[in-house]
Each structure stands twice: as C-alpha cells, then as structure tokens.
A and B are shown apart, each in its own frame.
Chain A
Amino acid sequence: MTDEKDANAQQDVQRWLVTPGEVITEERVKLGPGVYVQDGKVIAKVLGLAELRNGMARVVPLEGNYVPKQGDTVVGIVVDVKIPGYDVDINSPYKAFLPRDQVREPLEYGDVIVATVRFVDEVKNSVIENARKLEGGELIYIASPRVPRVIGKNASMITNIKNLTGSRVIVGANGRIWIKGGYSDIARDAIYKIEREAHTHGLTDRIAEYIKDRISESESNGEEGKEN
C-alpha cells in the first residue's frame, strides 16, 4: 500500500490538467496517446491529465466515448439476435459482434454479458469472445476514461471496494459496470465518487474511508442496506 502511495505521489507531481492545444514539452520525447507534434512541440490533443515520465509524453483523457481495443474486458447488452451470432451494444459509437460459439447459452435481446475484445478492424467494429451472461444485479455507467481509476494500480481500488462492500463487481473498460449483492448501493456510490474525483490524488484511501463510513452509518440506522 505504501509503495503504491509513493508511486502515486511521484506520478501526481508530474501530472497536470491540460486542454487541447496546450504545449506539454519542447524536448524530444517518446509520444504516448493524447498528444501530437507540431513545430518541434509536443501538444495536448484532449482534455485530460498530461504526464511527462520516463522520457514519454502523453495525455490521459478525462472524457470521451469508448473505442474498443483488443484485449479489453467489456460489459455489453445484446441488441440483435442473428444466425451467426449477436450484435452487442458496448456503449460505444462502434458495435461489437459475438459469435454464437463464444457463449455457452443462447442469448436474448436485452441480456447483459461480459466478454473480451478479440479483434478490432479498421473501422473499429469488433468481435468479442468468451462471453458470460450476467443475471440480476445493477448496471451503471461511468465515463470510460475514468475506468482505470476505478480499477486502480494492480486492481487495488476495485479489490478494496469488493472486499469492503461484499458486492460482486465487474468493470468493463467501456465504462459499464455490473454490481450485484452486498452493499451494492454503497459500491455504486463509491464508484460514482471515483468517477467525479478521478483527477485528484489520495483517492484510494478516501474511497476506503467513504465506504467504511457509509457502512457503519447504514448499520447504525438499521437500514436494509445489504442485498443478497
């Protein structure tokens, strides 16, 4: 935990809020996502957090709609049933296709699934695989660029949330998050809080505090907070 805190602190010193068109650096560095070069200057492309670390410049976006990437875990909703498979909405301008052999049971319109992105073509349509149906629970969505904060370094943040609330949580890179059981209300509120404060530091501890406070408040009120 302490190592992560130090790492975060180090990162935070070199992370700052930028808008499109702002110059990040004029030094020769490697280019990560979110930047472009003009006249020898590295310039931010998106509204986000600029990072200059280990000889690389990049901007991590704070906003934006999800574009599928190979290997991503996504939570999707079946929107069309066809013979070869299913069209799945993944909260993106781009659709995903799930071949029938990639899911154990037949699916219907409106079913919620979690799957992995196998392949993305040049116009960003994707094929997803290893799909599993999710029953019950609640589906929320946050801005997909904030998802890494919800997961945390080495999944520390999400593990914390799951352990403290006892909820099952599946986080899609596409910003869709499925929550079931435990203190699901509190898990949901904690995730929204992370989304709002994604650009701040000290978040891991703050969220743990927040969840603990909410749970003790709920218990002292004798609230029916815990779902089974």
Chain B
Amino acid sequence: MSNEFIWEFDKDRVRRFALRGLRLDRRGPLDYRPISIATDVFANADGSAVVDLGGTKVAAGVKYELGSPFPDTPNKGAVMVDAELLPMANPTFEPGPPDENAIELARVVDRGIRESNAIDLEKLAVEPGKWVWLVFVDLRVLDDNGNLFDAASMAAITALATSKIPVVEWDGDTPTIVRGDYDRPLEVSEIPLLTTFVKIGNAIFVDPSADEMRAADARISVATVDDGSVTAIQKGGEGAFTKEELSLVFDRAIDRGKYLREIVKKVI
C-alpha cells in the first residue's frame, strides 16, 4: 500500500532533523547513497545502462536512427533525450504521456550533455545536408527513491559513452542501418553529470532521499564537467535560494561531480 499519508508526518521529522543539520538516514550533507551501474544490459539497444542510486533505479538506452538534419544545421547530427516516469516507479505516477516532471527531467539531462559539447555533432553527419545520425537516449524510471535527476544523468551519459554507431549500407543513395552491426564507438569527450541538492530550512543536502525531496523547500541540479565548468543549472520547487547559497552549491556541485565521475569512469 502506498504510504502517501505518512509523508506529511515524515516531512516534519525531516525538517526537525535538518534544523540541526542532520539527515534521517545519518548521511553527511555531502554524502551520496550507494551507487551501482550496469552497462550493455539490453541486446537491442545500441548502448545501455541501468543505474541504482540508493534504491532509485533508472534504465537508459541509446538508439541510432538516420534522419534529415535540422535546416539550420545541415552538417550536424542530433542527440534527443526522452524520459518516462513509469507508473511502477511511484504510486503517485499516473500512466499517460510525459507530464511536466518527466519533460523537465529529460530536458535538463539533455542540456547538461548538449552544452558540454561532449559529443561532436559534426561527426554524426553521414551525408552532410542529407543524412545524419539522430541519437535517441530514452530514460525509463523504474523505481523512485528520490533524486531522479542524478540517476538519470549518470544513466544517460554512461549509455552514450558505451554506445556504438551502427554500420550503414548504401543502396544507391539510400542508406539502411544494419541492426546489430557496429562500425565504431561513439566518441564522448566529456562526462557531464548532474548533482542535485535540496534546501530544507537552512540546510543544504546533496542526493536527496525520497522523504527529503518531499520535505524540501527548493531543489537545484547542477551539471558539471571535469575542468570544473558548469554546463546546466535547474532550480526546482517553490522556495528560494540566496546568492550565497547558490555560490556554495556551485562549489559543492563541482566537487560532488568529480566524485560521481570517478564512479562512472570505472564502468565506461
């Protein structure tokens, strides 16, 4: 049975602990929960990963399709991220087309990757002006135990970094993809990763658990890359951050991003 009504009660408890700078699960403010990542999990995907972040489970799969380039970028391929918050993941998720939360998740993960220039889109042109690779990254959220953003971001970049570009056969000037036959791995020059923080009262904690997400006044996700640059920011929730808090968060995001990057690098 879903324990939605226990959540109000929990919120108070989370807040009381946060007043003392403490978390219910006894983690430090900068501690991540245990993380495990599996790669190459789904045979039909061109790249895949499943991330388990403290019980939150997200599967990512990459599929390469051929398409025409966007008119203003004839020599570039494209990366497209879609996310589905499957109803199985949380008793409050309803079946249907992606709602604002699913769309926000997909777009923020996408921005973190796109703005980092991790993927050279010009290298994805198969026949410039006519055929380019469209790289679909589909995120399927299977289990929501808080902090979908970071789990999704790790899953997406891991799936991309371990993906392979299919072989193309030409019949005259019509290309067909030879499914399951791969030409080369995708070159990924950066590992952009989201780190998410919540603000509860005056406390700021990284990697919010499910009850911390519910108790939070506000949330912020920051994507960083190796050299400490920030490639995406998304603030969520109805509360507000002071500019000092933002600066603190950015510093922590860079550091925590490095921590996550070490974990991801081990499986790539």
A binding-site residues for B, Cβ under 8 Å: 65-66, 77, 79, 89, 91-93, 109-110, 112, 138-139, 141, 176
Asked if B1 and A139 sit within 8 Å, CB to CB, the answer is: no
Asked if B107 is at the interface of the complex by the 8 Å CB criterion, the answer is no
A109 to B8, CA, bound (A): 9
Chain A nearest Cβ from B240, distance in angstroms:
25
Point out the residues of chain A lying under 8 angstroms from B8, CB to CB.
77, 109-110
Asked if B170 is at the interface of the complex by the 8 Å CB criterion, the answer is no
Asked if B6 and A141 sit within 8 Å, CB to CB, the answer is: yes
- Give me 25 A-to-B residue pairs in the complex whose CB atoms sit less than 8 angstroms apart, sorted by A's number: A65-B1, A66-B1, A77-B5, A77-B6, A77-B8, A77-B9, A79-B5, A89-B5, A91-B1, A91-B3, A91-B5, A91-B6, A92-B1, A93-B1, A109-B8, A110-B8, A110-B9, A112-B9, A138-B13, A139-B6, A139-B9, A139-B10, A141-B3, A141-B6, A176-B6
A110 to B1, CA, bound (A): 18
Point out the residues of chain B lying under 8 angstroms from A77, CB to CB.
5-6, 8-9
Sorted from nearest, which 7 A-B pairs have the closest CB atoms? A89-B5, A65-B1, A110-B8, A77-B5, A139-B9, A91-B1, A79-B5
Point out the residues of chain B lying under 8 angstroms from A65, CB to CB.
1
Measured CB to CB, the nearest residue on chain B to A109 is B8
Point out the residues of chain A lying under 8 angstroms from B6, CB to CB.
77, 91, 139, 141, 176
Q: Mark B1-44, 1 if CB is under 8 A from A, else 0.
A: 10101101110010000000000000000000000000000000
B binding-site residues for A, Cβ under 8 Å: 1, 3, 5-6, 8-10, 13
Point out the residues of chain B lying under 8 angstroms from A138, CB to CB.
13
Chain B nearest Cβ from A189, distance in angstroms:
11
Chain A nearest Cβ from B238, distance in angstroms:
19
Point out the residues of chain A lying under 8 angstroms from B1, CB to CB.
65-66, 91-93
A93 to B3, CA, bound (A): 11
A109 to B12, CA, bound (A): 13
A65 to B2, CA, bound (A): 9
Measured CB to CB, the nearest residue on chain B to A64 is B1
Chain A nearest Cβ from B209, distance in angstroms:
14
Chain B nearest Cβ from A10, distance in angstroms:
34
Point out the residues of chain B lying under 8 angstroms from A109, CB to CB.
8
Point out the residues of chain A lying under 8 angstroms from B13, CB to CB.
138
Point out the residues of chain B lying under 8 angstroms from A139, CB to CB.
6, 9-10
A99 to B5, CA, bound (A): 20
A109 to B5, CA, bound (A): 10
Measured CB to CB, the nearest residue on chain A to B10 is A139
Measured CB to CB, the nearest residue on chain B to A175 is B1
Measured CB to CB, the nearest residue on chain A to B6 is A139
Chain B nearest Cβ from A137, distance in angstroms:
9
A79 to B6, CA, bound (A): 10
Point out the residues of chain A lying under 8 angstroms from B9, CB to CB.
77, 110, 112, 139
A110 to B9, CA, bound (A): 6
Point out the residues of chain B lying under 8 angstroms from A91, CB to CB.
1, 3, 5-6
Chain A nearest Cβ from B54, distance in angstroms:
16
Chain A nearest Cβ from B162, distance in angstroms:
35
Chain A nearest Cβ from B1, distance in angstroms:
4
